[in-house]
Structure 1
Amino acid sequence: MTMNTANKWAAGIADTYALGLLAEAVGLGLPVAALPFWSTALDRHPATRRSLDVLRATGVRVVYGEGGWTPHEPGTGERRVDAYPWERVLDAVESAG
């Protein structure tokens, strides 16, 4: 999930099909997990922290930080894509269900 997606999702903005599904899943109480992917520069923005707090408060398991995924330095994301730990978000959904 990108920072833009996290902020929209946390605000309840469902302007794409994917965001609509995520918002509805939260409303239905389905197990939902998110695995962020953004830079350290975006991570320092106050809206990012607020959005993660809101998502966690609604029951979304945010796989982020120690033991999850950590932000990358600006301009290095392409080099980290192959190491993106999809299995961690799948594990988070399984443990929530």
Structure 2
Amino acid sequence: MLSNERGRCQATRCFLGWRAQAGSQSHKFVVRMRLIRARSLLFEGNLSIENVAFQSGFTALSQFYAQFRNAYGLTPRRMRAHYLC
């Protein structure tokens, strides 16, 4: 029981340290890293949008589209079409 409480305390301390260093919550950081990876895969041009989403770590295509558009102002398909012309 004590080791379990100690583990939770260490996890909390780790999260607070992460937040202080990164300036944001870990989830937001992970999403940001996934979007950067997705954008890179889009510019390679040989994967479908669905494969880009899943290879970037997104499990739901709708969430991928929403997060991508929120971050970059374009849907993945439009960004690919715009920059690969």
Given the two structures, how large is their TM-score scaled by the length of structure 2?
A: 0.29
Q: More helix per residue: 1 or 2?
A: 2
Q: More strand per residue: 1 or 2?
A: 1
Please say which structure displays the higher CA radius of gyration.
Answer: 2
Given the two structures, how large is their TM-score scaled by the length of structure 1?
A: 0.26
